[in-house]
Amino acid sequence: MKIQLSDHFTYGKLIKFTLPCIAMMIFTSIYSVVDGFFVSNFAGKTPFTAINLIIPILMILGTVGFMFGTGGTAIVAKTYGEGDREKANRYFSLFLYVAFMIGIALAILGFIFIRPIAVLLGASGELLENCISYARIILLALPFFVLQVMFQSFFVAAEKPHLGLIATISSGVTNMILDAVLVILMPQEHKLAGAAIATAMSQVVGGVIPLFYFFRENSSTLRLGKTKYDGKAILKACTNGSSEFMSNVSMSIVSILYNMQLMKYVGENGIAAYGVMMYVSMIFAAVFIGYSIGTAPVFGYHDGARNYEELKGLLHKSLIMIGTFGAGMVILAELLAVPLSHIFVGYDAELMRMTVSGFRIFSLSFAFMGFGIFTSGFFTALNDGVTSAIISFLRTLLFQSSAVMLLPLILGIKGVWLAIVVAEFMAVLLGTIFLASKRKKYHY
């Protein structure tokens, strides 16, 4: 039976509706991790370090997709909830076209300036050349990555989350197969380029397949077509999505700060160890991100339709589920610290010990991480981009950057691993304050 945005959501229906989004985000994270696995084990530690050093810059350039995806979905879902389907489709088309053009412009700028940026990050010699070759290949597919990210949100607004999962699986399988072929079989000097080609091609697949669906007649609530420029709508989408934009930019900046601190305290091994933790963290955070993406159009629809009792019930159920997910993830991460670390860096005993030790501390953050991600997404869904942006800015930039710069002065390398735990706990306190202070305004 098809689940619609207008339905009453029980726990079971909520899980069923959001599960494709959660699976989609997990699968996206897993195929991103595949690059790290193949490069680390078949290309070596220096190429692996190069990916982890330059990837925050590439993610910053791709954040336009997250901004228009989440911010635009909130507008489209609310417009649809208000009963104007034609206008919702115009908005959908406008946001996609504009974001794609911005993606092209950013790819060109990135291609030109990636060398001086890599130098500023501390890369030199072989590490520098690896950063540049990997980044320039990925940048060729940046406009399609922007589309891929946007469609993850818009498939939910179209009431077709399972199709988003299919597109993501197609993209992921493309990446995994090409990784296995290009990284393993290519000569040593071309293995890193092979991994980059695999990722770029997977992003093209993830961005193009949904275009064929939405440009033709379909059974969803959305379809791509003619639109007209609407500066106010674009500004509103950017404002709504500013929290996700800020969150992704901030996470990338924080990753750069982590890399700087790790290079200072333990050298190249520290960056490699942090890379392993971030890969695992991406998979676990994907559950929270997927749930937030899956529920956002539902919140937006009921806000637009003024179904406040349903909105209140959805919020309470979501908070319980987020807390349960977080507790389970901490337990799972502690149990899997050794085998997960071994998959990536088992070939180096010293690096393995550092990774396991840091991961056991780092993984405590999963208990708090979901709350900050969800509360930010919740306010985005209600078209309250300012509140969402404040939560994202403080959570991902101020709290984490302050912690990673200050705690190592007291605790050394342990302070680096503990920084994210402290930052995520602070985000829980902040999110609680905003939820309490906004209750009357949004009737939950």
pLDDT tens for the chain, 444 residues long, are: 566 777 777 888 888 888 888 887 887 777 667 777 888 888 888 888 888 888 888 988 888 888 888 888 888 888 887 878 888 889 989 999 999 999 999 999 999 999 999 998 878 888 899 999 999 999 999 999 999 988 888 887 787 877 877 888 888 889 889 988 998 888 888 899 999 999 999 999 999 989 988 888 877 778 888 888 888 889 888 887 876 777 778 778 888 888 888 888 887 788 888 888 888 888 888 899 889 888 888 887 887 778 888 888 889 999 999 999 999 999 999 998 899 888 888 778 888 898 999 999 999 999 999 999 999 888 888 878 788 888 888 888 889 899 999 999 999 889 999 999 999 999 999 999 999 998 877 776
Dig out the tokens for 185 from the structure.
């079989």
Q: Is residue 5 part of a domain?
A: no
Q: Is residue 4 part of a domain?
A: no
Q: What is the dihedral of CA 223, 226, 230, 233, to 10 degrees?
A: 0
pLDDT the model gives residue 310:
82
Dig out the tokens for 379 from the structure.
């306010």
pTM for the structure as a whole: 0.71
Q: How far is CA 373 from the centre of its chain?
A: 10
**From CA 369, how far away is CA 425, in angstroms rounded?**
8
**Cβ burial, residue 12 (10 Å; 0-12/13-18/19+):** exposed
**From CA 153, how far away is CA 292, in angstroms rounded?**
10
Domain assignment of residue 437, given as a range:
11-442
Distances, alpha carbon 197 to alpha carbons 175, 176, 181, 257, 300, in Å: 9, 11, 11, 28, 38
**From CA 224, how far away is CA 405, in angstroms rounded?**
46
C-alpha count within 13 angstroms, C-beta hemisphere, residue 20: 20
How many structural domains comprise the chain?
Answer: 1
Q: Is residue 89 part of a domain?
A: yes
**From CA 132, how far away is CA 129, in angstroms rounded?**
5
Q: Is residue 27 part of a domain?
A: yes
Q: CB of 167 within 8 A of CB of 210? A: yes
**From CA 353, how far away is CA 52, in angstroms rounded?**
19
pLDDT the model gives residue 2:
67
Which of 102, 139, 99 is CA-nearest to residue 117?
139
pLDDT the model gives residue 432:
93
**From CA 404, how far away is CA 252, in angstroms rounded?**
13
**From CA 59, how far away is CA 55, in angstroms rounded?**
6
Q: Is residue 6 part of a domain?
A: no
CA atoms 194, 287, 59, 342: torsion sign: negative
pLDDT the model gives residue 115:
94
C-alpha count within 13 angstroms, C-beta hemisphere, residue 125: 4
Q: Is residue 309 part of a domain?
A: yes
Q: Is residue 400 part of a domain?
A: yes
Q: Count Cβ neighbours within 10 Å for each residue of 248-287 and write b for 16 or more, e otherwise.
A: bbbbbbbbbbbbebbbeebebbbbbbbbbbbbbbbbbbbb
pLDDT the model gives residue 300:
78
Q: Is residue 3 part of a domain?
A: no
